[in-house]
Amino acid sequence: MERTTRPVADLLEHLVGLQAQTPHTAYVGIWSRLVDFDPEVLSSLLLDRRVVRLALMRGTIHLVTARDAWALRPLIQPVLDRVQKTFDRRLEGIDGTELLARGRAYVDEEPRTFKALGDHLLERWLGRDRMALEQAIRTAVPLVQVPPRGLWGRSGPVAHTSIDAWMGRPPSPPGLGLDGLVRRYLDAFGPATVMDAQEWCGLTRLRDVFERLRPELVTFEDEDGRELFDHPDALRPDADIPVPVRYLYDYENLMLSYVDRSRMFTDRPARPITPRDNESISTFTVDGLISGTWSVERGRASATLAISPIVALAASEVVEVHEEGERLLRFLASDDTNRDIRLVDRWEVGAST
């Protein structure tokens, strides 16, 4: 609701990371939360190996601090193991110890793309399933996706090396434990249900963890009778407090950290959001609810922010969406000569509002 001045690394640790499947969109997630966010600060953290990108919650690439990378990966390992079971049959007859040793040595030597890794493994196991071989290494070896991939305004191959090769020895002690994981989840996303926490991280059977923590937590009941947990001293703003317009990125935590995503939507949209094949969708909120989608269209020396509402907006809300959109466009396209905002399929409520 309010942008903070806390350092980038502190923000990432508070949120327990940001999903970063696409190399640059998580920058918008940080921009929406920080005052005067300089994207080069995050790029520097990535180059200095104080922040990394690796597979964590839900088995997806996340942007986390180095300290959290060490602490979270062992806890999330069962999520990756569950995915690996779908590949095990395709690896029958292959010595798993030899496969792991060969793959780890190869990515330890220098960062490798999955194609290069697959080629290397196929030299030993000719004719076997490339994806299954690659996935076995991705599951067993914590792989960091290295720069220049993920740097602001830059790109590079999707190359990986092991967390050990990239960051050296883990901090001592690196452990967090499931109790600590749930506490941190509630710090960022409470009040929440057990199923919400499981949806967020991909783990199952967290009910026992919540029960252990129950004496130190407070509980509530939502409109559907589900039990919500939170820390006693957590901020829980009143429902009537106005929430400023926010532009969310395509893998926004506010959407992916709960089972019921309808909590973010109005029950009276003018039109639904239509998914697009092979293209992620970024949204914006008005008073805390998803109210439309946005995208940036690039020209040779121009950038246009296309805003498509899914609800009828009051004139004052249109102004606020536009003003925050101008700030977003300056952040995303500061070097473009011409910047413009285009409102697509606009609906407005009556002039009296």
pLDDT the model gives residue 324 = 97
- Identify whether 186 is part of a domain: yes
Pick from 64, 150, 156, 155: nearest CA to 112? 156
Domain annotation covers residue 254:
no
For residue 289 the two structure tokens come to 């609810």
CATH number, domain with residue 207: 1.10.10
Closest CA to 347 of 321, 315, 312, 296: 312
Helices 66-88 and 177-189, axial angle in degrees (round to 10): 110
Is residue 206 a contact partner of residue 282, using CB atoms and an 8 Å limit? no
Is the alpha carbon torsion for 85, 90, 92, 97 positive or negative?
negative
Phi, psi values for residue 207, rounded to 5°: -55, -40
Residue 272 has pLDDT above 80, yes or no: no
| 245 is a domain residue | no
10 Å CB burial of residue 268 (0-12, 13-18, 19+) is exposed
Q: What's the pLDDT tens digit per position in 85-110?
A: 999 999 999 999 999 999 999 999 99
Question: Which tens digit of pLDDT belongs to each residue from 171-195?
Answer: 776 678 999 999 999 999 999 999 9
φ/ψ of residue 139, rounded to 5: -75, -45
Q: For the segment 2-14, what is each residue's pLDDT rounded down to a tens digit?
A: 999 999 999 999 9
For the chain, what is the mean pLDDT? 92
In a domain, 349, yes or no: no
Identify which of 43, 51, 46 has the alpha carbon closest to the alpha carbon of residue 69: 51
pLDDT of residue 280: 75
* pLDDT score, position 27: 97
- Tell me the residue type at 279: E
N- to C-terminal Cα distance for the chain?
Answer: 23
**305-327 exposure pattern, b = at least 16 Cβ within 10 A, e = fewer:** bebbbbbbbeeebbeebeebbee
Q: Does 299 score more than 90 pLDDT?
A: no
Residue 293 covered by a domain? yes
Write the pLDDT tens digit of every residue in 113-169. Answer: 999 999 999 999 999 999 999 999 999 999 999 999 999 999 899 999 999 999 998
Residue 15: pLDDT over 60: yes
DSSP designation for 56: -
User: Residues 195, 145: one domain?
Assistant: no
- 352 pLDDT band (50/70/90 cuts)? very low
Q: How many domains does the chain have?
A: 3
Query: Does 243 fall in a domain?
Result: no
Please indicate, yes or no, whether residues 272 and 332 belong to a single structural domain of this protein: yes
The confidence score (pLDDT) of residue 278 equals 53
Identify whether residues 87 and 163 lie together within a single domain: yes
Q: Which helix (H) or strand (E) holds 317?
A: helix 315-332
Residue-level pLDDT at 264: 86
Answer yes or no: is 76 within a domain. yes
Considering the domain architecture, whether residues 160 and 184 belong to the same structural domain is answered as no
pLDDT value of residue 350: 42
Q: What is the share, in percent, of the chain residues with pLDDT greater than 70?
A: 93
CA nearest 168: which of 43, 31, 70, 61? 70
Do strands 159-162 and 289-298 pair parallel, antiparallel, or not at all (unpaired)? Answer: unpaired
pLDDT tens for residues 33-61?
999 999 999 999 999 999 999 999 999 99
Alpha helices per DSSP H over 49-172: 66-88, 96-109, 114-124, 130-140, 163-167
Distance of alpha carbon 270 from alpha carbon 320, whole angstroms: 19
Are 200 and 258 within 8 A, CB to CB?
yes
Predicted confidence at residue 266, as pLDDT, reads: 73
Structural domain that includes position 56: 8-167
Question: Which contiguous run of DSSP H or E holds residue 212?
Answer: helix 207-213
pTM flag (> 0.85) = yes
| Burial of 352 from C-beta contacts in 10 A (0-12 / 13-18 / 19+) | exposed
Q: Span 226-237, mean pLDDT? A: 95
The reply to whether 60 and 118 lie within a common domain is yes
Beta strand residue intervals within 222-272, DSSP E: 227-230, 246-247
